Amino acid sequence: MPPPETTELSDSECFKALRPELPEQRRALKSLLELLLVRLPAEERGRLERRILRKLKEGECPETALYEGLIDDRRGQKLEQLTLMVCDYRGFDSFEYLAPILVRASGISAPFAYAHDGSKAMPEVLAEFDVWLQKHGMRYLHMDTGGDECAGFVVEAQYVQQAVELAREADIRLSLESF
């Protein structure tokens, strides 16, 4: 049977009907957010959590809610409190700019410097970044966004397995390996 010509439901209501929110998925996403945003001031952490959970409630999938909730230029994460680093697959300039900011925001006092020499692909550059982070007790977790960008978080090494498990429960793909 063909769909009706018009409907009185909003787009948000249609998405909710197609993808009902699961309480355990919401709980896992909330726990994951607490782990990923732990270094932010309480007020900022709460603001971003509410923003991301609101996007989930509006019908976005958890991965999209997390991604868009953080990267929005006006209402997402603040640059000095960078949590999710997103670079184009060939965005070496943006990596060179964002990686030191992410390192500082992660609580690492040692400076990180990168200069693109043209010989490595972005996944290799991120693997080297992860090796550098390991010396400071941190790891770089890649997030699968479904796009051609490279996105990821810096997490304390002891919480990597917990973050991956919470992400899986929330239907988000995080991994130490690039996608």
Q: Considering the domain boundaries, does residue 8 fall inside one?
A: no
Residue 52 has pLDDT above 60, yes or no: yes
Number of domains the chain contains: 1
Domain of residue 64, residue span: 22-175
DSSP 103-160: HHHTT--S-------SSS-HHHHHHHHHHHHHTTTEEEEEE--SSSEEEEEEEEGGGH
Higher pLDDT, 6 or 169: 169
Q: Considering the domain boundaries, does residue 33 fall inside one?
A: yes
Q: Considering the domain boundaries, does residue 171 fall inside one?
A: yes
The overall average pLDDT reported for the chain is 91
Q: Considering the domain boundaries, does residue 132 fall inside one?
A: yes
Higher pLDDT, 27 or 13: 27
Residue 156 has pLDDT above 60, yes or no: yes
Q: pLDDT per residue over 80-129, tens digit each?
A: 999 999 999 888 999 999 999 999 999 999 999 898 888 899 999 999 99
Residue 8 has pLDDT above 90, yes or no: no
Q: Considering the domain boundaries, does residue 69 fall inside one?
A: yes
pLDDT of 128: 96
- Here the tokens at position 132 are 């550098």
How far is it, in rounded angstroms, from Cα 30 to Cα 46?
11
Query: What pTM was estimated for this model as a whole?
Result: 0.85
Q: Considering the domain boundaries, does residue 107 fall inside one?
A: yes
Higher pLDDT, 80 or 179: 80
Segment 157-179 shows an average pLDDT of 96
Q: Considering the domain boundaries, does residue 114 fall inside one?
A: yes
Nearest residue to 126 (alpha-carbon basis) of 103, 144, 151 = 151
Q: Considering the domain boundaries, does residue 60 fall inside one?
A: yes
Residue 167 has pLDDT above 90, yes or no: yes
Q: What percent of the chain has pLDDT over 90?
A: 75
